[in-house]
Structure 1
Amino acid sequence: MLRKFREWLETEQSIWSIGEQQVSNGNLAEIIRLSAVKQTLKDGRIVEVRIATVDDIPDIVRIQELSYNGTAPWNATALEHEIKRNRRALYLIASLESQTVAFVGTWFVEGEAHITNLAVVPTERQKGLAYYLLKEIEQLAEQQGMHQLSLEVRVSNATAQNLYRKLGFKAGKVKKGYYAGDHEDALEMSKPILRKRDIHGFNE
């Protein structure tokens, strides 16, 4: 899985060099449509979800810093590259009372939706935000004809692993020393995407 995404990234980097205007054609964020923009959380509040823009980068960095002990694995420069130039990247943000509290980043590549990052501010965890964002990504992946969801998670992050299993993800191989900094191992997890025609046994 990792090899496939590395090969794709090398191809994308060669395309990026020809200029932003040319790569904007077919940008995933421009053509995709959310299945829903509002959802009621466990505590009764309404969360609003939308596709992220460059204006949301400071909030995405802030959420990472709150989630990862003051560090942002994806800094502002990397995020700007992702949102403006990566045609197959999609970032969703979730807001409560006009405050951005969670986000998810995904690459849609060769039939696979690979979740690159998912974070919720500590004060809003365990309320269904991550679950809702992942369900939205799954629906969008189905719309785009993807056949699988995938991600990596720290082997020590039992809470996240439990959420992914609840959503139907299965554990795969362990990637040794995957994370920068502390070199913790990562557990690869994936889930097949069943389209309606697959469930009902005929083409709709």
Structure 2
Amino acid sequence: MAASASARGRVGCSPESSMKIRTYVRCPRGFMSLPKRRYVQEAPVLRFLPVLIRPFVANDIPAVSSITREALRENYPTSLYLEIHRWWREGFLVAEMNGNPIGFLAAVMPGDGQARILMLAVAEGFRSRGIGTLLMNHFVQTCGTRGLRRIELEVRVSNAAAQRFYRRFGFETLNVLPKFYTDGEDGYKMVRHL
């Protein structure tokens, strides 16, 4: 049985770890090989186009900044993204399709066995297609591998869809943060224990 699975050649190993990842994706004409560059995870979505989860690089700043303005209604300076990346490289992930960033998750590790998600956003045309789920699954796996015990985040009180999304991942509302956002809107602090 194991020989037949390896003969199909659909599973490979990431060069950075022994974690198995798919190296091929099914498409209408059979299987298509995926590039093995720096990618850490993929999933076929959007009519057989692979979404690749990879580490953030400085060239992603224009796209990430644009997604932040559109999805989160925030306008942060370029230096903030570089600073977040310096704090915890493994915690800044980008979802890419056809070479273009379409979503990202940025987090830091403040200490005491916890992580804090600062931003999670997906470009408007790609929402509700599992991209946020891919980012969150990869991030939770990273936190578990590092032995972290808790993940926290903040979400706008008005963003019911994001609150439902986080609850699906086991996050619970801890308290209200008055005037947390730059436009004066309140936020909820949400927490998940690992």
TM range (shorter): 0.7 to 0.9
Aligned to 1:54: 58
1:130 alignment partner in structure 2: 132
Match of 1:143 among 131, 139, 145: 145
Q: In terms of Rg, which structure is larger?
A: 2
What SS class does the counterpart of residue 60 from structure 2 fall into?
helix
Aligned residues of 1:34 and 1:140 also touching (Cα < 8 A): no
1-structure distance, mates of 2:53, 2:88: 20
TM-score w.r.t. the length of structure 1 is 0.71
After TM superposition, give the deviation of residue 42 of structure 1 in Å.
Answer: 6.6
CA distance, structure 1, for counterparts of residue 47 and residue 172 of structure 2: 29
Are the counterparts in 1 of residues 173 and 191 from structure 2 also a CA contact under 8 Å?
yes
Residue of structure 2 equivalent to 1:106: 107
Q: 1:120 to 1:87 in 2, by over 3 A?
A: closer
> Larger relative contact order (C-alpha < 8 A, sep ≥ 6)?
1
Q: Deviations over 1:109-131 (max 9, x none)?
A: 32111100011111100001111
Equivalent residue runs for 1:160-171 within 5 Å: 160-171=162-173
Runs of 4+ in 1 over 4 A off after TM superposition: 32-36
Displacement of 1:87: 4.7
Alignment-derived partner of residue 79 in structure 2: 77
Aligned partner of 2:157 among 137, 155, 158: 155
Once residues 18 and 108 of structure 2 are traced to their aligned partners in structure 1, the CA distance between those partners, rounded to angstroms, is 16
Q: Is the 8 A contact 1:155 1:186 kept in 2?
A: yes
Structure 2 gap ranges (5+): 1-15, 20-39
CA-to-partner distance for each residue in 1:5-53, whole Å, 9 max, x for gaps?
A: xxxxxxxxxxxxxxxxxxxxxxxxxxx8696411123754321011001
What SS does the corresponding residue of 2:91 show, helix, strand or coil? strand
Structure 1 position 89, deviation (Å): 6.9
Larger strand percent? 2
**What TM-score comes out, normalization by structure 2 length?**
0.74
Match of 1:86 in 2: 87
**Per-residue displacement from partner, 1:63-120 (whole Å, max 9, x unpaired)?**
1122245x42x3212112222x325772100011221100010112321111000111
Q: In the comparison of the two structures, how many residue pairs are matched?
A: 158
- Structure 1 residues 34 and 149 mapped into 2: Cα distance closer, same or farther (>3 Å)? farther
Separation (CA, whole Å) in 1 of partners of 2:18 and 2:179: 36
- Give unmatched runs, 5+ long, in structure 1: 1-31, 194-204
Query: How far apart in 1 are the matches of 2:46 and 2:105?
Result: 20
